[in-house]
């Protein structure tokens, strides 16, 4: 592997850590520190004169956890306006500076027992989280050479899993879980380092050439990311041809509704993302679920952290197989597997919490089901779910459809995640079956019928396969995807658009 490739992967790894630290660390640290969060809410309610019964505490706890996903909906709608108009680098700077301010808000809210301040701080962080995710995806797609684009895109999920592990480890009682305020204050250190790093890297060459028409800066950016090469001038010419084609019309959210292939791409992307909904309650509240299943406190915390370690390692392994096998088959296979494992987790958790037995095998079966579920999620479902929407559309629609799917997905997360803990209190672990498994099986049926294969195919070939699988609308379908001047075609493992 060339030194320039190692350097570029290191840059992507740093960007992935910067992007995923707020969401991964913030959401996972309150998982293992669930006891301290519960105590903080109860103390705050007493100080404010509100009733501190379990129902009120559960309501505030759900609001604290799920305000994240509600705020992300609005953040996703703002993302194209910032990243497409001002640039990916400016988007990153806005994301990190807002996160630093929000962290101070959360810290002082913990110090003065202000639960609404904690919700406000988490909401501000979540508001810019989609912006960071979109900028990471665009940086990888617009700066990486073809031969490492697949592996580079998997760094997004690997970075998320790593930050979740970090948050869970620091949130354990034996580390910093005894003090939520110190836990939040510690996160300021990597955030300031992230801001310095983001300021130093250049804007992506595609944005500089296509949106700014700055040939000199675009060439400097290519040389920064890929090194000096005679091919760089040809890349600039390709970007210029794309600029001349793309400037005729910009992508809008209206296009996603008015054009059949974009509507179908959204439906398929959302069906795929729906398969991941069950992961988010486990990310935030697995310690609570294990405690309710009769597993000791310390063991629950360790297993929750271990689950994230397993997920991260699975993502690393998944990066080695994603370009070797049919993505459609992988998606369907692991979608079925994850739902079977979720049913097993619900069943054994129900037995463990309701059936009195001198044996503890049901507890171990519950833990095994949870860990195996994390393997299936991290290996395929987690990373692949975000590839679907960009792969099904042309370059100019990618940021728009990513933002729209991100917003709708987070609305679904907010609704299901908010309902999980109250329903878990009423029905126990079996709530996972009707809340997640049944809808997932319906989505898998839709994916089986209409999802095209994307591996090794161009965007036009993928759209035409969508037409073949979804006969309705094909008669009136008119392809408006720009045709670019290309050299001999090679297919990217993550975008499948013609790249050069």
Higher-pLDDT residue of 32 and 103 is: 103
Which of 12-21, 46-55, 467-476 has the lowest average pLDDT?
467-476
Encoding tokens for residue 326?
Answer: 């049919």
Interatomic CA distance for residues 213 and 200, integer angstroms: 21
Q: How confident is the model at residue 33 (pLDDT cuts 50, 70, 90)?
A: low
pLDDT given for residue 436 in this prediction: 92
Encoding tokens for residue 411?
Answer: 């609305």
Give me the mean pLDDT over the 194-211 stretch. 89
Other beta carbons within 10 Å of 378: 27
Query: 42: helix, coil or strand?
Result: helix
pLDDT given for residue 150 in this prediction: 62
Which of 39-43, 114-118, 240-244, 246-250 has the lowest average pLDDT?
246-250
Give me the mean pLDDT over the 69-75 stretch. 84
Task: Indicate the CATH number for domain 1-201.
Answer: 1.20.1250.20
Residue 117 has pLDDT above 60, yes or no: yes
Query: 253: helix, coil or strand?
Result: helix
Q: Closest Cα partner for 82 from 92, 74, 72, 73?
A: 92
Pair 463, 479: CB distance under 8 Å: yes
Q: Which tens digits make up the pLDDT trace of 260-274? A: 778 888 899 999 999
**372: Cα within 13 Å, side-chain hemisphere:** 16
pLDDT given for residue 128 in this prediction: 92
pTM for the whole thing? Answer: 0.72
Question: What are the extents of the domains in the chain?
Answer: 1-201, 266-500
Residue 13 has pLDDT above 50, yes or no: yes
Q: Which tens digits make up the pLDDT trace of 354-403? A: 765 555 777 888 888 888 998 888 888 888 887 777 778 766 777 788 88
pLDDT given for residue 242 in this prediction: 62
Interatomic CA distance for residues 236 and 256, integer angstroms: 29
Q: How confident is the model at residue 445 (pLDDT cuts 50, 70, 90)?
A: very high
Give me the mean pLDDT over the 410-430 stretch. 83
Q: How confident is the model at residue 498 (pLDDT cuts 50, 70, 90)?
A: very low
Other beta carbons within 10 Å of 445: 12
Give me the mean pLDDT over the 269-289 stretch. 86
Q: Mean pLDDT in the chain?
A: 79
pLDDT given for residue 483 in this prediction: 39
Residue 406 has pLDDT above 60, yes or no: yes
Interatomic CA distance for residues 72 and 401, integer angstroms: 15
Q: CATH says 266-500 is which class?
A: mainly alpha
Q: How confident is the model at residue 199 (pLDDT cuts 50, 70, 90)?
A: very high
Residues listed for the chain: 500
């Amino acid at each position: 592997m060339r030194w320039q490739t190692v350097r570029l992967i290191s840059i992507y790894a740093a960007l992935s850590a910067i992007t995923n630290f707020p969401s991964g660390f913030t959401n996972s640290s309150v998982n293992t520190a669930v006891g301290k969060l519960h105590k903080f809410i109860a103390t705050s309610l007493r100080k404010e004169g509100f009733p501190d019964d379990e129902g009120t505490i559960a309501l505030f706890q759900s609001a604290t956890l799920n305000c994240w996903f509600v705020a992300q909906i609005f953040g996703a709608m703002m993302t194209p306006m910032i990243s497409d108009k001002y640039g990916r680098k400016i988007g990153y700077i806005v994301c990190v500076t807002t996160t630093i301010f929000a962290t101070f808000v959360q810290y002082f809210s913990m110090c003065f027992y202000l639960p609404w301040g904690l919700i406000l701080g988490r909401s501000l962080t979540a508001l810019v989280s989609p912006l960071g995710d979109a900028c990471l995806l665009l940086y990888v797609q617009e700066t990486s050479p073809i031969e490492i684009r697949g592996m580079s895109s998997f760094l997004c999920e690997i970075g998320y899993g790593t930050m979740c592990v970090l948050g869970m480890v620091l949130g354990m009682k034996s580390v910093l879980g005894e003090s939520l305020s110190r836990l939040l204050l510690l996160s300021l250190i990597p955030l300031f380092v992230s801001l310095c790093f983001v300021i130093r890297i250049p804007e992506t060459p595609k944005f500089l050439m296509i949106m700014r028409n700055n040939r000199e800066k675009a060439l400097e950016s290519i040389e920064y990311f890929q090194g000096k090469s005679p091919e760089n001038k040809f890349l600039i010419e390709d970007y210029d041809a794309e600029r001349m084609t793309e400037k005729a019309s910009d992508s809008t959210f209206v296009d996603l509704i008015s054009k059949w292939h974009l509507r179908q791409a959204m439906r398929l992307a959302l069906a795929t993302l729906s398969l991941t909904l069950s992961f988010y309650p486990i990310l935030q509240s697995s310690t609570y679920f294990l405690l309710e299943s009769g597993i000791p406190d310390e063991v629950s915390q360790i297993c929750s952290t271990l689950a994230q370690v397993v997920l991260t390692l699975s993502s690393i392994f998944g990066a080695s197989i994603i370009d070797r096998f049919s993505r459609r088959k992988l998606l369907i296979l692991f979608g079925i597997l994850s739902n079977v494992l979720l049913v097993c987790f619900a069943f054994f958790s129900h037995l463990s919490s309701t059936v009195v037995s001198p044996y503890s095998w049901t507890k171990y079966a519950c833990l095994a089901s949870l860990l195996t579920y994390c393997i299936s999620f991290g290996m395929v479902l987690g990373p692949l779910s975000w590839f679907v929407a960009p792969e099904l559309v042309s370059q100019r629609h990618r940021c728009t459809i990513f933002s729209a799917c991100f917003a709708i997905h987070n609305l679904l997360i907010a609704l299901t995640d908010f309902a999980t803990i109250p329903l878990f209190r009423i029905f126990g672990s079996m709530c996972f079956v009707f809340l997640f498994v049944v809808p997932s099986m319906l989505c898998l049926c839709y994916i089986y019928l209409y999802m095209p294969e994307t591996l090794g195919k161009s965007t036009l070939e993928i759209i035409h396969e969508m037409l073949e699988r979804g006969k309705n609308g094909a008669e009136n379908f008119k392809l408006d995807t720009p045709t670019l001047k290309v050299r001999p075609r090679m297919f990217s493992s993550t975008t499948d658009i013609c790249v050069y």
